[in-house]
Amino acid sequence: MSGNKPRSALVTGGSRGIGRATAIRLAANGHRVAVNYNTHAEEAAEVVEQIRSAGGTAVAVGGNIADKKSALAMIDAAVAAHGPIEILINNAGVISDSLLLRMKDDQFEHTMQTNMFGTYYCTHKVLPGMVKGRWGRIVNVSSVVGMRGNIGQSNYSASKAAVFGFTQSIAKEVATRNITVNVVAPGYITTATSAVISDKQKETVLTWIPQGRFGEPDEVAPVIVFLTTDEAQYITGDIIRVDGGMAI
């Protein structure tokens, strides 16, 4: 987009789905993109190659955001490659579904550790540099399930709802430093995560969505990327749903 200078960007969970689509679009806008992955190194390398083949700048950085030491080392690698992080997309997350009556402690803890604490670790690490540079864009990818809840997803819903409060609090803290912090809350998107849903479950979910279909990663990524632009500088602390009307 015209008028937006190249920046150093980090996309967590950038090897697949929404993260992949976002990384590619950020690179197309001229940004230097660090594509984070945890277990999908080969797919992250493919994203990097696609970006470089199109004339962009990208590097893959491995790291588990649920582990503080790993998350911080991953960010250090991204900074070493492209400079201080100016655009942070907290996209990585996990799902571990179960009715609460059957849920194990480690299911709840791991989901919260990844989806909420991982977002905290990454944001806490890059924010001082944004404050020093007096410019920053943070977009946290949550979920409409954090708004409306869902059977079998008390852990996931809790973790994604926590991201809303975290985002709005940070947005207030750094608003005068030309740093915006927003949430994009997707509904059901066609990704590897949704691929495990049974046909019967999909039929039920589709009845919740006024548009009658799942979304695509390329329908979420443009919203995320817009929030990183100069044109979006007066939007902060907001929650933007991309859900086909599911949360209406």
Crossing angle for the helix pair 217-226 and 17-28, to the nearest 10 degrees = 50
CA distance 155 to 161: 10
Mean pLDDT to the nearest integer, 180-201: 85
Q: Do residues 182 and 236 lie in contact, with contact meaning Cβ atoms separated by under 8 Å?
A: yes
Map tokens 């039929």 to a residue. Answer: 203
- pLDDT of 61 higher than 50: yes
Do 39 and 62 form a contact (C-beta atoms < 8 A)?
Answer: no
Residue 31 DSSP symbol = -
Q: Catalytic site residue 121?
A: no
Model pLDDT for residues 123-174, shown as the tens digit of each residue: 999 999 999 999 999 999 999 999 999 999 999 999 999 999 999 999 999 9
Residue 204 above 70 pLDDT?
yes
* Structure confidence at residue 200 (pLDDT): 84
Out of 37, 156, 188, 234, pick the active-site residue.
Answer: 156
CATH superfamily of 8-242: NAD(P)-binding Rossmann-like Domain (3.40.50.720)
**Measured CA distances, 103 to 98, 118, 195 (Å):** 5, 21, 22
